[in-house]
Amino acid sequence: MARPVRFNVHAEADVKLVKDGPEGYSGEGFFATRLDKVVGLARSNSMWPLPFATSCCGIEFMATMGATYDFARFGAERVGFSPRQCDLLMVMGTIAKKMGPVVKQVYLQMAEPRWVIAVGACASSGGIFDTYSVLQGIDQIIPVDVYVPGCPPRPEAILDGFMKVQDLVHNREMIRRRTSDRYKELMESYGIQ
């Protein structure tokens, strides 16, 4: 279902300029696209990441934020440390089982829609720490959208993971996904209401 949306900025290739508008319309033209494409474009280019770094992956993230790799060029210049103002949780490093409830609480305090990146081997699968005290992947307590491999991953890998989240938000996630029965079942499986 295409709805005519009028705006002055040039969007992406799937948006077309219609010269012959509705009857009685005397403007120069308008863009016709789906509303979820416009919302996805806006969301994907204005993400506010919250870094949750506990070890060496956090140092690589610091390098990613530096001038050489310039994380800000992807629309994520504002790195926040308040969960209520961020929409992308980046968990980096070893997460002990005692730290698990804290990570889950930070996730729950974030506003919807929210996304999660597990950066590095420790956040993804426990890494080399196969012990009783280390959580063997944060996907045991919160849903993860993108896994970034490496021990620690290079800044290029972190950027690639971020671009995969942008692709998910812009191209593959419908606005109504968060209200679907499947999404509600997923949240219930994690004990999140």
Q: Which two tokens stand for residue 79?
A: 């790195």
Please tell me the predicted confidence (pLDDT) of residue 10: 46
Please tell me the predicted confidence (pLDDT) of residue 108: 92
Per-residue pLDDT of 124-134, as tens digits, reads 999 889 999 99
Mean pLDDT of 108-127: 91
Mean pLDDT of 139-144: 92
Q: Which residue has the higher pLDDT, 31 or 138?
A: 138
Please indicate, yes or no, whether the overall pTM of this predicted structure exceeds 0.85.
no
Residue reference for tokens 């209200």: 179
* H-state helical runs in 17-154: 35-44, 56-65, 100-109, 120-125
Per-residue pLDDT of 83-104, as tens digits, reads 988 999 999 999 999 999 999 9
Per-residue pLDDT of 29-74, as tens digits, reads 555 667 777 777 877 888 899 999 998 888 888 888 888 888 888 8
The three-class DSSP label of residue 9 is coil
From 36-45, 120-129, 143-152, 156-165, the region with the lowest mean pLDDT? 36-45
Sketch out the chain's domains with CATH numbers.
48-165 (3.40.50.12280)
Residue 110 and residue 84 in contact, taking contact as beta carbons nearer than 8 Å: yes
Residue 86 is assigned to a ligand binding site: no
Q: Which two tokens stand for residue 49?
A: 């990441």
